[in-house]
Amino acid sequence: MRIVGIASGGGHLTELLAVCRHFPAFDVVLTEPGAVDRGSSGAFDLMPIVDCHRSPWLFLKNVLWAIRYWMRLRPAIVVSTGAGMAVPFYIISRITGSICIFIESGARINSPSITGRILYRFSNVFVIQSKELQKFYPRSLVASILPEGSFGDDFLSFRD
């Protein structure tokens, strides 16, 4: 069973890598080329995919890369934390029978992301990190991907 993660660089990738640490069965993480160049992981492969940044031309290129990667990887499970670059691969995977899990960014407290609004209907499991978002995503699960103690006990007292 192949598990593939997909996320843009920066905070989305950081959140996905936090998930990868708890589920070591990930085989591949697709991310933007710059993030692949900056880091590597011995546990799984980092592979580049085009980040479209709302450009129609780059979006088309992303779709072609997504098809190519899907044919090569044929994932059983896809996990994504966004952003927009994940949409084509995620939808192709869902349509072809993969189990798709989306984790809305922890930065989203009061309003949904564009990617979340698009991928909600394609998700087998949709995770939000703020109860405020349940009005937008009624069949979502509320869970934090940050392990307890990540920021120390002082920080945890502010979360309540």
Mean pLDDT of 35-63: 82
Backbone angles phi, psi at 77, to 5 degrees: -135, 135
How far the first Cα of the chain sits from its last, in Å, is: 38
Architecture of the domain whose range is 3-159: 3-Layer(aba) Sandwich (3.40)
> Which residues, in sequence order, are CB contacts of 71 under 8 Å at separation 6+?
none
Is 27 within 8 Å of 43 (Cβ atoms)?
A: no
Backbone angles phi, psi at 129, to 5 degrees: -110, 5
Cα gap 122→14, rounded to integer Å: 23
Is 85 within 8 Å of 50 (Cβ atoms)?
A: yes
Q: Give residue-wise pLDDT tens across range 55-110.
A: 999 999 999 999 999 999 999 999 999 988 999 999 999 999 999 999 999 889 89
Amino acid identity for residue 51 in this structure: D
The predicted structure's pLDDT at residue 45: 82
The predicted structure's pLDDT at residue 138: 96
Confidence (pTM): 0.86
Q: Give residue-wise pLDDT tens across range 99-156.
A: 999 999 988 989 999 999 999 999 999 999 999 999 999 999 999 876 554 444 433 3
Coil, helix or strand for 40? coil
The predicted structure's pLDDT at residue 35: 80
